[in-house]
Structure 1
Amino acid sequence: MTARSSLTVVLAAGEGTRMRSSLPKVLHPVAGQSLLAHVLNATDAGEGSSLAVVIGPDHAAVADEAHRVRPEAQTFVQRERLGTAHAVLAAREALVRGVDDLLVAFGDTPLISAETFARMRAPLREGAALAVLGFHAADPTGYGRLIVENGKLVAIREHADASAEERKITLCNAGVMAFDGRRALAIIEKIGNSNIKGEYYLVDAVSIIRDMGLEAVVIETSEDEVRGINTKAQLAEAEAVMQTRLRKQALEAGVTLIAPETVYLAADTTFGKDVVIEPFVVIGPGVSIDDGAVIHSFSHVVEARIGKKVSVGPYARLRPGTSLGDGARIGNFVETKAAVLEAGVKVNHLSYVGDAHVGANSNLGAGTITCNYDGFLKHKTLIGEGAFVGTNSSLVAPVKIGKGAYIGSGSVITKDVPDDALAVERSQQTIREGGAARYREIKLKQKAAKGK
Structure 2
Amino acid sequence: MNERSCLSIILAAGEGTRMKSTLPKVLHRIAGLPMVAHVVRAAEAAGTGDLALVIGHGAEQMREAAQKFAPHAETFVQEKRLGTAHAVLAARAAIERGHDDVLVMFGDTPLIDAEALKTARRKLAEGAAVVVIGFRTENPTGYGRLVEKGGKLVAIREEKDCSEEERAIKFCNGGLMAIAGRHALALLDAVGNSNAKGEYYLTDVVEIAGGKDLEVVATEASFDNALGINNRAQLAEAEAIWQKRRRREAMLAGATLIAPETVWFSFDTQVGQDAVIEPNVWFGPGVTVEAGTTVHAFSHIEGATVGPSAEVGPFARLRPGADLRRKAKVGNFCEVKKAVVEEGAKVNHLTYIGDARIGAGANIGAGTITCNYDGYSKFFTDIGAGAFIGSNSALVAPVSIGDGAYVASGSVITENVPGDALAFGRARQKTLPGKAKELRERRASAAKK
TM-score, normalised with respect to structure 1: 0.95
Kindly state the Cα deviation for residue 45 of structure 1 after the two structures are TM-superposed: 5.8
Q: Does 1:160 align with 2:160?
A: yes
Segments of structure 2 that go 5 or more residues without pairing to the other structure are none
Q: Single out whichever of 374-383 and 183-192 deviates more from structure 2.
A: 374-383
Please name the residue that 2:13 is paired with: 13
Kindly state the Cα deviation for residue 57 of structure 1 after the two structures are TM-superposed: 5.0
Aligned length: 449
Please name the residue that 2:273 is paired with: 273
Q: Is the 8 A contact 1:57 1:79 kept in 2?
A: no
Q: Is the 8 A contact 1:3 1:48 kept in 2?
A: no
**SS of structure 1 residue aligned to 2:204:** helix
- Distance, in Å, in 1 between the alignment partners of 2:294 and 2:229 is 35
Q: Does 1:376 align with 2:376?
A: yes
Segments of structure 1 that go 5 or more residues without pairing to the other structure are none
Please name the residue that 2:248 is paired with: 248
Please name the residue that 2:22 is paired with: 22
Task: Give me the CA root mean square deviation.
Answer: 1.7
Q: Does 1:51 align with 2:57?
A: no
Please name the residue that 1:67 is paired with: 67
Q: Single out whichever of 53-62 and 42-51 deviates more from structure 2.
A: 42-51
Q: Single out whichever of 240-249 and 266-275 deviates more from structure 2.
A: 266-275
**SS of structure 1 residue aligned to 2:87:** helix
**SS of structure 1 residue aligned to 2:139:** coil
How do 1:190-269 residues align onto structure 2 when only pairs under 5 Å count? 190-269=190-269
Please name the residue that 1:306 is paired with: 306
- Distance, in Å, in 1 between the alignment partners of 2:358 and 2:334 is 15
- Distance, in Å, in 2 between the alignment partners of 1:396 and 1:155 is 73
Please name the residue that 1:332 is paired with: 332
1:220-247 Cα shifts (integer Å, max 9, x gaps): 1111222111111001111111111111
Please name the residue that 2:31 is paired with: 31
1:352-379 Cα shifts (integer Å, max 9, x gaps): 1112122211111111111122222222
How do 1:375-414 residues align onto structure 2 when only pairs under 5 Å count? 375-414=375-414
How do 1:176-191 residues align onto structure 2 when only pairs under 5 Å count? 176-191=176-191
Q: Percent identity?
A: 56
- Distance, in Å, in 1 between the alignment partners of 2:276 and 2:262 is 14
Counterpart AA for 1:61:
Q
**SS of structure 2 residue aligned to 1:26:** helix
- Indicate how the Cα distance of structure 1 residues 342 and 352 shifts in structure 2: closer, same or farther if over 3 A, else same: same
Please name the residue that 2:100 is paired with: 100
**SS of structure 1 residue aligned to 2:75:** strand
**SS of structure 1 residue aligned to 2:141:** coil
TM-score, normalised with respect to structure 2: 0.96
Q: Is the 8 A contact 1:129 1:214 kept in 2?
A: yes
1:385-433 Cα shifts (integer Å, max 9, x gaps): 2222111111222222222222221122222222222221112321111
- Indicate how the Cα distance of structure 1 residues 385 and 2 shifts in structure 2: closer, same or farther if over 3 A, else same: closer
**SS of structure 1 residue aligned to 2:187:** helix
**SS of structure 2 residue aligned to 1:356:** strand
Q: Is the 8 A contact 1:57 1:77 kept in 2?
A: no
- Distance, in Å, in 2 between the alignment partners of 1:358 and 1:402 is 11
Counterpart AA for 1:166:
E
Q: Single out whichever of 388-397 and 311-320 deviates more from structure 2.
A: 388-397
